[in-house]
Amino acid sequence: MVERRSIATLLQLPPSEDRLFGPNPSVSLNATYYEGQRSAYGRHTNPTWEAFEALIGELEGGTAVAFGSGAAATFALLLALGPRALVVADSYMGTRQLARWLGARIPGIELVEPSDLDAHLDRLAPGSVVLIETPSNPLLVTYPIATLAKRIHERGGLLAVDSTLATPVLQRPLTLGADVVVHSASKFLSGHSDVLGGVLVASDEDLVARVGEVRELTGAIIGPVEAYLCFRGLRTLAVRVERASATATTLAMRLRDRLGDTVRYPGFDSELVGPGRQQSAGGALVALELESAQQADAMLDGLSLFHHATSLGGVESLAERRGRYPGEDRIGEGLVRLSVGLEDVEDLWGDLDRALTRAGL
């Protein structure tokens, strides 16, 4: 049924007997429940989590499990579905660090370069899980979900997709053949830079139970207030993502006219991105591969409307030189990631234009 409705329509469905929420859920702050109530303890479940899980699960077309952060959701995925797990290295720095940390302690969890993925898939062991991020962060590469899912399933494996940058507004991996979807809810899902949260969605109830068990045993739960804020963020997800994506597309095209092929944007991938394709629009992130850290820093110093800060997916526009982090060892020191917010497109372009001119670009 999800495929036949728009995201905006799903977010405005009237309450019914099989739903846990009306316009907004209540915030349940109970850590202890009395005998005979719905749960024994607050680490097991919470009605506010369940409202958020029900809504994001419906948007993605599966059953959701919420976590205290995106990293916690990824940890649960690798722990529950491993130990045979391949994590494609073209992904968020925190994911790579987690894969290395776990791989040093659990044989079978391996970080692999995209250029080596074909060889690894040829010898993939049954029961293995492969985790990709598309679009990837911060290089913004798109990977063919349906093609990879078919190939991995032929070997008896599972495909997990980190779809944080696309959100279910632009991309629904489960409908393309993926087995699991992961999101950092701290980003677009909550959308206001005020929450840490994560979520994992799968259509197979056994997978859901396995990751849910990891959450319960490790205590990697999302707080009820945070779950409420994530639920509230979902109510405006479609309009925020669509607006930010349209603005980012305009900025990316103008930046490419000025800077050429140094500009990275998922919307430039005409095979996988566009109406009726894997990802319906380019999304809200743009990356600039500038020549040096000095050139990138000079540009950042010239910005006033784009705030110099980490993270992404909020209503405000952010810019950051990702190469300043020692863990970003796969990119050039001059790569600048732009997270486009909800400001006026011409105001944002004026800010970028002035900063680029100041940096001699």
Determine which one of 84, 90, 92, 297 is catalytic.
Answer: 92
Using DSSP's 3-state secondary structure scheme, residue 337 falls into strand
Query: Starting at the edge strand that comes first in sequence, how are the strands of the sheet with 85-88 ordered?
Result: 63-67, 198-202, 180-184, 158-162, 129-133, 85-88, 109-112
Residue 159 near residue 178, CB atoms below 8 Å? yes
**Closest Cα to residue 65, out of 80, 49, 79, 41?**
49
**Closest Cα to residue 66, out of 182, 196, 222, 225?**
222
Segment holding 10, helix H or strand E: helix 7-11
Determine which one of 187, 215, 240, 243 is catalytic.
Answer: 187
Phi, psi values for residue 183, rounded to 5°: -135, 145
Determine which one of 43, 210, 254, 258 is catalytic.
Answer: 43
What's the CA gap between 174 and 168, in Å, rounded? 10
Q: What is the 3-state secondary structure (H, E, C) of 340-356?
A: CCCCCHHHHHHHHHHHH
Identify whether 150 is a catalytic site residue: no
DSSP state of 279: B
Identify whether 162 is a catalytic site residue: yes
Neighbours of 147 (CB within 10 A): 13
What's the CA gap between 164 and 186, in Å, rounded? 9
Determine which one of 84, 90, 151, 162 is catalytic.
Answer: 162
Identify whether 34 is a catalytic site residue: no
DSSP state of 263: E
Identify whether 325 is a catalytic site residue: no
Residue 285 near residue 140, CB atoms below 8 Å? yes
What's the CA gap between 225 and 28, in Å, rounded? 8
Catalytically active residues, by annotation: 43, 92, 162, 187
